[in-house]
Structures are given as C-alpha cells and as structure tokens.
C-alpha cells in the first residue's frame, strides 16, 4: 500500500472505499511524489505531530498543531516532544543508582528512547560519547541528537 491510496501494478491509484481507479499516474510521477515526501520528511513530521498530540492531549487539537508547527519553524528540528525537564527525567530513570553519572552504554540506550526517527535512532551508534556521562552532557547530547536530520539527497 502506498501513501496515496491503493495502487495496482500499472500505477493506477484507486479510491480505497470503491477500489475504482481515480487516475493513472506514471511511475515516474509517483516516485517524484514519494521522493518529495521523503526529502521534506513529511511522514516523520506527521508521526511526530501525532505523537505530540497523544502525549499532551490538548483540548483544541487544531490550535495545538498550528502552535507545534510554528515552534518547529522558529526553533528548528529539535522542537518536538521533549523539553529539558523531560530529557532530565529520562537521564534520572537511566541513572538507577542516582549517582549523577551513567555509563556510555546506558547513555546510548537512554538516547535511543528519545529518538524521534529511525535516522536519529541509528545515529546514536555514531555519537562520540565518553565512558561516563553526567546529566549536563546527557542533555547537551540529547539536544544535539534531536536536532539531527538526514541530509536531503
């Protein structure tokens, strides 16, 4: 199934409710649309917005979504689900002995729990992380991770 409804092998897009072809789209045009959505990270953005709605449960969803989009436009990619308080809470949960320091392995696991995309999740493995990480370093690393996005092709 594609993002554009169901399609047959000839590239005809169908209305999901009637399964009747709406129009035939060339495979090239369809690929261009898929590439555009990927380049602009539309799927990732919509997933993040849906998760944010579920997390915050606003009384006015449309107003909340408009505000979230405004934040992303002014604050960049790191505007999302997690503020510093929530990042600190993730560190605190990772620091089970409450020593104020976690190991590199524990830090990577905690950072993966914050990742907003598969790209960010995979990038955790490439981060330079010291053997011991305090809360300030964790917060800085988390903010850096949350700002990461793939380089458009």
What's residue 2's pLDDT?
44
> Which residue in 104, 118, 117, 109 sits closest to 90, CA to CA?
109
What's residue 70's pLDDT?
82
Q: In three state form, how does the secondary structure of 84-112 look?
A: HHHHHHHHHHHCCCCCCEEEHHHHHHHHH
What's residue 3's pLDDT?
46
Q: Is residue 148 classed as helix, strand or coil in its secondary structure?
A: coil
β partners of residue 2: 5
What's residue 21's pLDDT?
58
The answer to whether the beta carbons of residues 51 and 81 sit under 8 Å apart is yes
- pLDDT tens, per residue, the chain with 153 residues: 444 444 444 444 444 555 555 566 788 888 999 989 888 778 878 877 887 788 789 999 999 999 888 877 765 555 556 778 889 999 999 999 999 999 999 999 999 988 877 788 889 999 999 999 999 999 999 988 887 665 544
pTM (2 d.p.)? 0.54
β partners of residue 101: 134
β partners of residue 5: 2
- Distance, in Å, from the CA atom of 8 to the CA atom of 27, rounded to the nearest integer, reads 11
φ and ψ of 97, to 5 deg: -90, -5
What's residue 81's pLDDT?
61
């Amino acid at each position: 199934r594609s993002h554009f409804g169901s399609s047959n092998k000839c590239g005809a897009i169908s209305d999901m409710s009637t399964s009747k072809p709406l129009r035939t789209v060339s495979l090239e045009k369809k690929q261009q649309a898929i590439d555009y959505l990927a380049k602009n990270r539309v799927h990732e953005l919509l997933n993040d917005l849906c998760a944010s709605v579920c997390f915050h449960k606003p009384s006015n969803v449309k107003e909340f979504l408009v505000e979230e989009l405004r934040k992303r436009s002014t604050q960049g990619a790191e505007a999302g689900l997690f503020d510093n308080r929530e990042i600190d809470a993730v560190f605190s949960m990772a620091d089970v002995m409450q020593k104020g320091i976690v190991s590199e392995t524990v830090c990577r696991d905690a950072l993966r729990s914050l990742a907003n995309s598969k790209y960010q999740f995979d990038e955790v493995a490439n981060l330079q992380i010291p053997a011991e990480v305090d809360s300030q370093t964790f917060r800085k690393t988390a903010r850096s991770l949350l700002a990461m996005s793939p380089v458009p092709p």
